[in-house]
Structures are given as structure tokens and as C-alpha cells.
Structure 1
């Protein structure tokens, strides 16, 4: 089971609605860091690096997402992009997103989301499989990501439209993601496996566990916007 760092300090200007208090996750499959350490990820130039290079010397928030054309993944990453760089710098924490697409689509996704931090892909989904991240496309569940602004209907229209523009789905349309906070080294602080497309860990909870100041997110109305 993941151990939780409760050392985060609430940020100024955040209401009780905005704040997330770290709480233990239910038991999750044991992560064998010896196995995943040398599994490769690719950057936007097609350069391959071992996974442990991301967390070897520093604590890192790693967010595993669905295919790049999924509206839930896109809107979650758009809110990750709003984390001020100095928040991460002051806490000495890295933020990394890993998708299950091909590396050639990374730059387009970063441009679409405005994501300024590190983004890699696990092209063969070996890491996704090793972490036992689930593979089904259900949107059912009692938890709805606070970072997904679109309705299911509107989101599916967006994803379909973007797929038509790009010509494919840029990844496995059934693959779900998860969130991991680890480092320095194989020191695990938090691990969550998404149970459905909407089951993202709230970003402020990730920040609280990692000891990073939290962000005040505006409450957006759900809209259909292609």
C-alpha cells in the first residue's frame, strides 16, 4: 500500500471546496520497481529513456493518461498545465505526463493543451501493463473528475471530431490511466489506478500529497466546444 506524505501546507486564498486533504488509497497492486525501472518511454523527438531516469534523483508526480484524442485526458492535462512552475520548483517536484500513443503525436498534444512540462509516451504500453492499469472504456462510476468540463455527449463529439481531423485515435481507445507519486528512487508516496474514464485523482490532492502548493481552479460550466 502506498504511504502518504501529510506535510503539505494549505495555500492562501483557497476555500474548503478547493482544498483536498490527503487520504490513504485503498490497497493497490504492488509495484515492482526493479521491473519497471528500465522500461522505456519516448520523448517528442523519439529519444528513448528508462523510466527510472524520471524519479531517480527527485520526487515526481507521474500522470498516466488515455489516448491523446480522449476529451477526458485532454481536459485533465489542460488543468495540469495551470500549475505554476514556481510551485513545483519551490517543492523540488517534477510533473510528468505519460500517454500510450506514439511519440510523433506528443508535440501536437502539448500545443492543444498548453502543457509546458515533460510529456512522454509508453508506445508498447509495457509500463501501463506492469502497473496493472485497466483496459476498458467505461465512463460509469460514482466519481466524476472535477477537471472534466464537458458532458459525456459533448466530450464524445469532441473526441470524434478530433479523430476525424487527425485520422486516428493516437493510442488505445480502451486504455485507462492512473497517477503515481514516487521518488527520489523507488520511494512510493501515492498510487491510484483509474477505474473509469472520469476517475482522475483531483490535481490538488496530488499536489497536497507531493508537498506542492495547491491551485485554485475556476468552476467551469459544461459546454460543447469543438
Structure 2
């Protein structure tokens, strides 16, 4: 198994940078343009009904990011219609940009090839963003997802697709990478901010 934290090669960076994602209006955006001018934390999520981690990102003080000239961007793999309105942006309160890669070509280009529904393995410490009660976390995901937004059913993306966290830019460089190995394997928010050089982290 390759190291889930290996940095993309120059060839992988170019391939990923040339991929297109969709914005909240369905417009194509070249991936590399997202981080061309700023250091950017880019979080790839599993699907648009999974919001605990992004809700934690939404709690990062804006002035903390601004003072370090760092922005936060989220990429999903569902339909672009699931982002705005009563969709994912409202569910998570994230103020940053949200894009989607329904083809999952970008996920593949950056080595996010794992699909599973496994939770934190026995003996491994759960991440702090995970709700203490797995049952309450599941119920919350169900309520805030398909029950609260039934019109988004089928638009959330592949629920078994695992994501990851990266720090890109400015320019076509990547200074941090972490690819999920199970469904609760996002990097701790404080560690991600440190990796991006956010002051005070």
C-alpha cells in the first residue's frame, strides 16, 4: 500500500491541475486556477450528505485565514445542484467555495482510489470532529441529508468514495497531502491549519 501522505509527483500535479470541476452554477472551472494565486486548503469529501468535517472547517475564524492569506475550498463528487440553496453550503455553513467532480477524475488523479464504508478501526483513536456517539452522528447525517433535503437524493455522489486533504499553491505546487483510508479519516483541523502555515495554529 502506498503512503497515503505522499505528495503528488510533478506529472500527477499537472494531470490534476488540468482537470475541470464544476462550481455551484454548473460552470466548468480548471482545477489549477483555484489555487493559482493563494495557498489553498482543499478538502475532498465523500458525498454531499456528509458534513461533520466541513462544519468543523466552517468554524475556523475568517480573520485567522485572511491574516495568513490562506483560503479553504471543498470538493465533492455529487451533482453541482446539491451545493447551493438548501443544499450542502447551507447545511455546513461553509463560507468558502465548494466545487464538485462528478466524474471523480480529479480524485483519481490525486490518488484517492479507495472506496469503502468502514469507520475508525478498533484501537485507533477517533478524530475529534466525529460526534461522540456514532449513533447520533449517523442520525444527524440522515436528518440533515436525505430527510431534510429529499430533493437531493441521488445527487449526493458516491457514498463509498473516500476523500482527503491537500494544501496547494500558490502556483502548481502541493505541500501537504493526506488521503482517507476509512470514512472517519479526515486530518484533524488544527493539524491541517498547521500544514498550511496558518498563524496561531
1:30 and 2:8 are equivalent in the alignment: yes
Mapping of 1:91-130 within 5 angstroms? 91-107=68-84, 108-130=87-109
Residue 188 of structure 1 and its aligned partner are, at CA, apart by: 1.7
Contact 1:143-1:199 within 8 A present in 2 as well: no
Tell me the secondary structure at the aligned position of residue 174 of structure 1: coil
Contact 2:127-2:188 within 8 A present in 1 as well: yes
Closer/same/farther in 2, CA of residues 46 and 163 from structure 1, 3 Å limit: same
What does residue 60 of structure 1 align with? 40
Mapping of 1:74-93 within 5 angstroms? 74-93=51-70
Contact 1:42-1:48 within 8 A present in 2 as well: yes
Tell me the secondary structure at the aligned position of residue 80 of structure 1: helix
| Structure 2 segments unaligned to the other structure (5+ residues) | none
TM-score (norm 1): 0.77
Tell me the secondary structure at the aligned position of residue 205 of structure 1: helix
TM-score (norm 2): 0.86
Aligned equivalents of 2:5, 2:174: Cα separation in 1: 13
Contact 1:29-1:132 within 8 A present in 2 as well: no
What does residue 201 of structure 1 align with? 187
Residue 29 of structure 1 and its aligned partner are, at CA, apart by: 6.5
Contact 1:63-1:96 within 8 A present in 2 as well: yes
How many residue pairs end up in the alignment? Answer: 188
Aligned equivalents of 2:104, 2:134: Cα separation in 1: 26
| Structure 1 segments unaligned to the other structure (5+ residues) | 1-24, 216-226
Larger radius of gyration: 1
Deviations 1:25-67 (A, max 9, x none): 8652634111111211111111110000011122110000011
Runs of 4+ residues deviating >4 angstroms: none
Residue 138 of structure 1 and its aligned partner are, at CA, apart by: 0.8
CA RMSD between the two structures:
1.9
Aligned equivalents of 1:57, 1:171: Cα separation in 2: 29
Mapping of 1:1-226 within 5 angstroms? 28=6, 30-31=8-9, 32-70=12-50, 74-107=51-84, 108-133=87-112, 134-141=114-121, 142-161=124-143, 162-167=145-150, 168=153, 170-214=156-200
Tell me the secondary structure at the aligned position of residue 160 of structure 2: coil
